[in-house]
């Protein structure tokens, strides 16, 4: 009767513990070759609302990671599994970019310090010796999932911040600051490898008229459409940035002036033939193109491209000057 009472007390306490956890939405990958242990641990995790993907061998688990499995938040791995390749498995798992910071918790029977040291160095976050205390098991899982959650939050925030800091909101092209960073890097690279790059400066013709005649919203729409058209006509390695109001710049690595001219001419032609429901006249753009091999440094390449853009404006607009 005393044991019964103790057991009931234990279960009540455990229940309270599990209820403070609620980790629904988390995915745990469980690898344990003992069937009873596997079902037991799976049951404990599912009781806390966790989705468990459980396997009896490392090979099985390896096959489905990245293919049919949703993103894993925690791995619980039995050290002694039949195929005996836990170390290789951790190496493999940690080498996947998506799982670089995903915790791996090892369960072992024996307390072998040197095995533990090795696994820690390979990226394991924690050890639990069998048989384990259920309360401690839950609390360790909880602590790993909390840290994982915070890491994910930080990743998301960093991504958002870098987008905000580098992108022009209206046209979704890069901003001036980001352009300078990329262009300076390209200049260093081009100097080292004696390679060429080109700069295209472009500016919408008579944009003030468009704004004045059709309104600022139509003007904004034209800016967006122009940026979209440019993006479709440059390579992934090229960088498009909004330099000022209706002025853009394109950096084209490994590109000479003749090739850059063709790119500019293609964009010029596309824009000239674009149809805008709201506008009863052609929208046109002027271009100035310059390359590294005709200047001393980046500043000078930009200066020359800018002078050529000015010349395009002076001599009739809707043209590319090289
Ligand atoms: P040009 O052919 O010589 O380039 O003449 P332009 O009228 O295009 O050039 P100007 O520099 O006289 O005028 C540029 C106009 O661009 C003025 C400004 O109100 C407008 N502009 C700048 N940024 C934006 C923007 O974000 N949205 C809209 N709608 N207009 C903008
Ligand atoms: Mg085992
Ligand atoms: Mg203009
Ligand atoms: Mg102007
Ligand atoms: Mg302008």
pLDDT at 28: 97
Separation between Cα atoms, residue 106 and residue 128, nearest integer Å: 6
- Ligand number nearest CA of 223 is 1
The complex's ipTM works out to 0.94
User: What's the pLDDT at 283?
Assistant: 97
Q: What pLDDT was estimated at residue 21?
A: 66
Provide the 3-class DSSP secondary structure of residue 64: helix
Separation of CA 245 and ligand 1 centre (Å): 6
205 in Cβ contact with 286 (< 8 Å): yes
Is 80 exceeded by the pLDDT of residue 19?
no
Query: Is pLDDT of 1 > 80?
Result: no
What distance in angstroms lies between residue 320's CA and the mean position of ligand 3's atoms?
14
pLDDT at 22: 64
pLDDT confidence of 109, banded at 50, 70, 90? Answer: confident
Is the predicted pLDDT of residue 237 greater than 90, yes or no?
A: yes
Crossing angle of helices 86-94 and 113-122, rounded to 10°: 20
CA terminus-to-terminus distance, the chain: 96
Calculate the dihedral angle through the C-alpha atoms of 258, 260, 263, 266, rounding to the nearest 10 degrees.
-50
In 20-132, where does DSSP find H-type helix? 35-47, 58-64, 86-94, 113-122
pLDDT digits 0-9 by tens, 301-322:
999 999 999 999 999 999 999 9
Indicate the average pLDDT of the chain.
92
Q: Picking from 82-86, 201-205, 266-270, 275-279, which range would have the lowest pLDDT averaged per residue?
A: 82-86
Which position among 32, 60, 186, 246 bears the catalytic label? Answer: 246
Comparison of pLDDT for 212 and 82, the residue scoring more? 212
| The pLDDT of residue 153 is above 70 | yes
Q: How far apart are CA 178 and CA 5, in angstroms?
A: 67
Confidence band of 7 (pLDDT split at 50, 70, 90): confident
The minimum-distance atom of ligand 1 relative to the CA of 208 is: 7
What's the pLDDT at 270?
Answer: 97
- Pocket, ligand 1, Cβ cutoff 6 A: 170, 203-208, 211, 216, 219-220, 223, 245-246, 313, 317
Which tens digit of pLDDT belongs to each residue from 56-103? Answer: 999 989 988 877 788 999 999 998 887 777 888 999 999 999 999 999
Check if 307 is active-site: no
Closest ligand 1 atom, residue 218 Cα: 29
Report the distance separating Cα 206 and Cα 271, nearest Å.
14
Lowest-pLDDT range, 47-51, 112-116, 250-254?
112-116
d(Cα 233, Cα 264) in Å, to the nearest integer?
9
C-alpha to C-alpha distance for 93 and 87, rounded to whole angstroms: 10
Ligand 3 centroid vs 162 CA: distance in angstroms? 29
Mean pLDDT for the stretch of residues 161-181: 94
């Amino acid at each position: 009767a005393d044991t019964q009472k103790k057991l009931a007390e234990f279960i009540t306490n455990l229940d309270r513990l599990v209820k403070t956890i609620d980790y629904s939405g988390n995915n745990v990958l469980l690898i344990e070759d003992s069937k009873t242990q596997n079902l037991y641990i799976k049951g404990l995790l599912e009781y806390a609302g966790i989705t468990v993907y459980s396997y009896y061998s490392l090979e099985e688990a390896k096959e489905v990671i990245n293919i049919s499995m949703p993103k894993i938040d925690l791995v619980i791995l039995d050290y002694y599994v039949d195929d005996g390749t836990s170390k290789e498995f951790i190496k493999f798992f940690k080498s996947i970019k998506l799982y670089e910071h995903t915790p791996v918790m090892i369960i072992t029977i024996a307390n072998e310090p040197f095995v533990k040291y090795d696994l820690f160095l390979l990226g394991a976050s924690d050890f639990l010796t069998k048989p384990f205390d259920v309360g401690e098991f839950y609390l360790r899982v909880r602590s790993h999932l909390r840290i994982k959650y915070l890491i994910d939050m930080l990743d998301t925030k960093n991504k958002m911040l870098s987008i905000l800091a580098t992108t022009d909101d209206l046209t979704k092209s890069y901003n001036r600051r980001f352009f300078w960073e990329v262009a300076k890097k390209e200049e260093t690279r081009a100097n080292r490898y004696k390679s060429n790059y080109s700069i295209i400066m472009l500016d919408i013709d008579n944009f003030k008229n468009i704004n004045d005649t059709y309104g600022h919203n139509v003007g904004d729409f034209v800016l967006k459409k122009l940026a979209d058209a440019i993006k479709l006509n440059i390579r992934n390695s090229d960088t498009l940035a909004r330099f000022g109001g209706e002025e853009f710049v394109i950096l084209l690595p490994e590109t000479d002036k003749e090739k850059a001219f063709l790119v500019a001419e293609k964009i010029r032609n596309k824009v000239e033939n674009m149809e805008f429901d709201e506008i009863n006249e052609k929208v046109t753009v002027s271009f100035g193109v310059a390359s590294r091999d005709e200047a001393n440094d980046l500043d000078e390449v930009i200066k020359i491209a800018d002078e050529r853009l000015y010349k395009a404006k002076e001599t009739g607009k809707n043209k590319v000057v090289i």
